[in-house]
Amino acid sequence: MVAQIIDGKKIAQEIREELKKEVICLKEKGVVPGLATVLVGTDPASQIYIKNKLKSCAEIGIYSYHQHLPAETSEDELLRLIEELNFDPKVHGILVQLPLPEQIDENKVLLAIDPEKDVDGFHPINIGKLSARKRMEEIEKEKIFLPCTPYGIIEMIRRSGFTIAGSEAVIVGRSNIVGKPVAMLFLAENATVTICHTGTKNLADVTRKADILVAAVGKPKMITAEMVSEKAIVIDVGTHRLPDEKLCGDVDFDNVKEKVRAITPVPGGVGPMTIAMLMVNTVKAAKLSTKT
């Protein structure tokens, strides 16, 4: 058996086409969705991420306000900029690209962003609202912004025709960015959830039980064919550059794809979905601004 390849690029394009129509409707009402992106320093990966986000904004019709600050920018200077963006009515979403230089406290920066403009979905208020809701229908209707990568994972599984409700979802990784929030989203979709981490004993015994396996551990090719079952849908969140310059994920793709039901590639899987859901959150923020 060869797995179905879940094409994140294709699904992300479908989402962007849907958003274009929503943006046209908003503009007819006099609202131009605006996303402010802030990059501090010259980290090459961050520059690529920002470039792709700005490209998506241009395609959909979202106005982008990009601020590229020098690496020596102080914490106070960045916080002042965020305060300005919080009060700017043309800006509906704010994204500060991580990681930040060592002189800046990332937690202070995330807390400084207005929760109603937190389109990255990392503010404690948005995470708290997510954890307090039981059903996905409630979450998506309310003024809650979901973390983009976890939200993208759920959306790509849905749009690929797989059923989440009643499934056994196993997440390898417990980060605040992916592991914990995606677990809460699976619970909201009525899956039974297990979170694995460095303290998990007999990891392979747990992962083999998964109907849906999310690999978000940060180690190249850690998930092998011996760790999955034939029924598994495997979502690979990791991105790593090998010595030969090729990219790989947390999953041993070439071997695992010969065994499982479905799998996401790296690149072209979760990455495009993360940016697509950032656009979804920005358009949602613009819509909500018309109701206040």
- CATH number of the domain where residue 263 is located: 3.40.50.720
Kind of pairing, strands 247-248 and 240-241? antiparallel
Domain co-membership, 155 together with 109: no
Q: Is 168 helix (H, G, I), strand (E, B) or coil?
A: strand
Please tell me the predicted confidence (pLDDT) of residue 44.
Answer: 86
Residue 189 contacts residue 165 (beta carbons within 8 Å): yes
Residue 189 contacts residue 164 (beta carbons within 8 Å): yes
Whether 171 maps to a domain, the answer reads yes
Domain co-membership, 94 together with 180: no
Q: Is 78 helix (H, G, I), strand (E, B) or coil?
A: helix
Tell me, yes or no, if 120 is annotated catalytic: yes
Domain co-membership, 176 together with 98: no
Residue 200 Cα to chain centre, angstroms: 25
CATH of the domain at 96: 3.40.50.10860
Whether 287 maps to a domain, the answer reads no
Query: What token pair was written down for 221?
Result: 């090719």
Count CA atoms closer than 13 A to 28's CA, side-chain side.
6
Beta-bridged to residue 38, according to DSSP, are: 67, 96
End residue of a domain, out of 64, 92, 115: 115
Average pLDDT over residues 12-37: 97
**Residues of the chain above pLDDT 70, percent:** 99
Domain co-membership, 264 together with 189: yes
Residue 248 contacts residue 140 (beta carbons within 8 Å): no
Residue 177 binned pLDDT confidence (cut-offs 50, 70, 90): very high
Domain co-membership, 171 together with 101: no
Whether 135 maps to a domain, the answer reads no
Residue 43: which domain range? 30-115
Whether 191 maps to a domain, the answer reads yes
Average pLDDT over residues 277-282: 97
Average pLDDT over residues 25-43: 96
Residue 26 has pLDDT above 90, yes or no: yes
The sheet carrying 168-172 orders its strands as: 4-5, 262-263, 233-236, 212-215, 168-172, 192-196
Whether 1 maps to a domain, the answer reads no
Residue 268 contacts residue 152 (beta carbons within 8 Å): no
Domain co-membership, 259 together with 215: yes
pLDDT tens digits, residue range 124-161?
999 999 998 778 877 877 889 999 999 999 999 999 99
End residue of a domain, out of 115, 132, 163: 115
Tell me, yes or no, if 97 is annotated catalytic: yes
Whether 16 maps to a domain, the answer reads no
Which of the two residues, 189 and 1, has the higher pLDDT score?
A: 189
How close are the terminal C-alpha atoms of the chain, in Å? 53
Which of the two residues, 44 and 291, has the higher pLDDT score?
A: 44
Whether 167 maps to a domain, the answer reads yes
Domain co-membership, 154 together with 242: yes
pLDDT tens digits, residue range 214-238?
999 999 999 999 999 999 999 999 9
Please tell me the predicted confidence (pLDDT) of residue 292.
Answer: 52
Which of the two residues, 265 and 198, has the higher pLDDT score?
A: 265
pLDDT tens digits, residue range 52-77?
999 999 999 999 999 999 999 999 99
Beta-bridged to residue 195, according to DSSP, are: 171
Domain co-membership, 160 together with 258: yes
Which of the 8 DSSP states describes residue 97?
Answer: P
φ, ψ of residue 226 in degrees (nearest 5)? -70, -15
Domain co-membership, 96 together with 46: yes
Whether 164 maps to a domain, the answer reads yes
Distance CA 262, CA 233 (A): 5
Please tell me the predicted confidence (pLDDT) of residue 43.
Answer: 87
Averaged confidence pLDDT in the chain: 95
C-alpha dist (Å) from residue 41 to 101, 122, 125, 271, 280: 7, 21, 28, 22, 27
Please give the tally of structural domains in the chain. 2
Q: Which of 97, 118, 211, 236 is catalytic?
A: 97
Domain co-membership, 253 together with 158: yes
Average pLDDT over residues 6-17: 98
- Angle between helix axes 8-28 and 148-159 (nearest 10 degrees) is 110
Of 67, 68, 60, 55, nearest to 32 by C-alpha is: 60
Query: What token pair was written down for 82?
Result: 């965020």
Q: Which amino acid is at 110?
A: L
Please tell me the predicted confidence (pLDDT) of residue 141.
Answer: 78
Average pLDDT over residues 73-83: 98
Neighbours of 74 (CB within 10 A): 12
Q: Which of 7, 117, 118, 120 is catalytic?
A: 120
Residue 190 has pLDDT above 80, yes or no: yes
Neighbours of 178 (CB within 10 A): 25
End residue of a domain, out of 93, 115, 137: 115
Domain co-membership, 111 together with 152: no
Q: Which of 7, 53, 129, 250 is catalytic?
A: 53
Domain co-membership, 94 together with 160: no
